[in-house]
Chain A
């Protein structure tokens, strides 16, 4: 619809919208995160939901204790290799549309434990991540910023076309490979369908 016509109509008291706008507005305004914390970042996440920072302003006050009722998984903290299969399994149990915020240095890369034997070097090795937040831990403002970034991302999604979101494309997977605990490491160490190996420039 033409923007000028829409503005003109709204001046006359006629509200117009599109199905896409309504659908995206509805989804972005009630993103329900899962009650799920992994390490110290979870403390910041809890602080974000409390009165001072009040994540409820963004429609995300309902932390659901079941993955079946949650839309958003906030990976808040260190993912040990022992915990990684459970994290992926919880993500698989969430219904579409579902989103992931990787919160903090550990969740996005392994952080200070990157070269350790027991810590996964970033959850994006196994599941697709929508927003990464750096920081150790990120402040509640950073989590709110990530949340607003996610809302903007949802708002800009097209319902049709090649760039439509995953949950509207039957060809795209909804569940991802759960890694197994091998004798020395997780098997496989990353999911090549989700995590293409990046080229390191300058080497």
Chain B
């Protein structure tokens, strides 16, 4: 598997970097490589320049929003009830805090192979949303990182020109985040149904 080779090569070449292979269980089986933020640029440069990989083309950069998730696990725990020790099943809940993610799809035009998928994760979704920009490594990431910044709110440190690209400059929301609330312009809905009907009803005054 090429990702394991990349992982060992990168860990040898970039001291201190932490890489993790994220398995993809779907039929596409496109596993990806999670890189820590401090060494992302160094690892990316290695992937671009290493003669075995030569990943000289970043075809796509996109964003992901992961909300806070809760996993529940059934655990058998001994408990004393009425003086008798019993094993009782307990549900343990663990909270996985949410984060934002940037995903890069890399190909090699020279060696004709790919894709290798990189992931970068922010610490959380609210205040620590900084990631290192990979635009200095792959120029084609520039507009796509701007788009991620526009729609997800990930701030790319080291980006040459980080501005909104699709929405206007005064816009303050991040529309592709899962908790985004869209503006309420449901004044006129001639064929409203379901959720749209609920939103349209708030605009209909009772006397009309």
Which residues of A are interface residues toward B (Cβ below 8 A)? 81-82, 115-118, 121, 181-185, 189-190, 197-200, 203
Contact = CB atoms under 8 A, between A and B. Distances in A.
Contacts of A203: 192, 197, 200-201, 204
A189 B188 contact: no
Interface residues of B, number: 25
Given A82-B167, A200-B192, 5 more contacts: A117-B173, A118-B166, A190-B185, A190-B187, A203-B201
Interface of B is mostly: loop
Interface string B170-187: 111101000010110101
Contact of B188 (A118, A182, A183, A197): A197
B157 interface: no
Interface in B190-208: 190, 192, 196-197, 200-201, 203-204, 208
Contacts of B182: 115-117
A145 B180 CA distance: 42
7 contacts: A117-B173, A117-B183, A181-B170, A181-B171, A184-B171, A200-B189, A203-B192
B180 A117 contact: yes
Contact of A184 (B173, B196, B201, B203): B173
B185 A118 contact: no
A190 B185 CA distance: 9
Given A197-B187, A200-B189, A200-B190, A118 B204 contact: no
Nearest to B201: A203
Nearest to A181: B168
Contacts of A199: 208
Contacts of A81: 168
Question: Which of A82, A121, A184, A189 lies at the interface centre, i.e. has the most chain B CB atoms within 10 A of its CB?
Answer: A184
Nearest to A185: B183
Contacts of B170: 181-183
Nearest to B190: A200
